[in-house]
Amino acid sequence: GKHRIVIPCLGHFKEEYEKVSKLYMNNKIQTTKYTLLNFLPRNLFEQFHRFANLYFLFLVILNWVPLVEAFQKEIAMLPLVVVLIIIAVKDGLEDYSKYKMDKQINNLLTKVYSR
């Protein structure tokens, strides 16, 4: 069968560890959905999969048509923008707490069984 090489990450084995560890996948836990680069587009994509948000977006777009305009354009956008911001902040805070928990779990000391 195949054998696995385990090299401790100690000072004098550091070069060997870095060379060998590139060959294997790491076992870090990542439960977060977002990164700093994809937060806004991915969050908006997820929010507009909700029917209520699509409905209010339709009303905002419809209000920009001069023939159908019921009230001021900016006031029609306000409820949708407020809801989108509140949900984005909530999702961002939840994802940040997941990031902190992942970081804490990934930095735990573990015991390795050795015969």
Domain extent listing, the chain? 29-107
Query: What's the CA gap between 16 and 8, in Å, rounded?
Result: 9
Residue 21 has a CB neighbour count (10 Å cut-off) of 13
Is it the case that residue 107 has pLDDT exceeding 90?
no
The pLDDT of residue 76 is 83
The pLDDT of residue 75 is 85
Taking only the tens place, the pLDDT of each residue in 31-70 is: 999 999 999 999 999 999 999 999 999 988 888 888 877 7
| pTM (two decimals) | 0.70
Q: Could you tell me which residue, 1 or 85, shows the higher pLDDT? A: 85
The pLDDT of residue 46 is 95
The pLDDT of residue 95 is 97
Q: Cα-atom radius of gyration of the chain, to the nearest Å?
A: 25
Query: What's the CA gap between 85 and 87, in Å, rounded?
Result: 6
Is it the case that residue 110 has pLDDT exceeding 90?
no
Taking only the tens place, the pLDDT of each residue in 2-34 is: 666 665 556 666 777 777 777 777 778 889 999
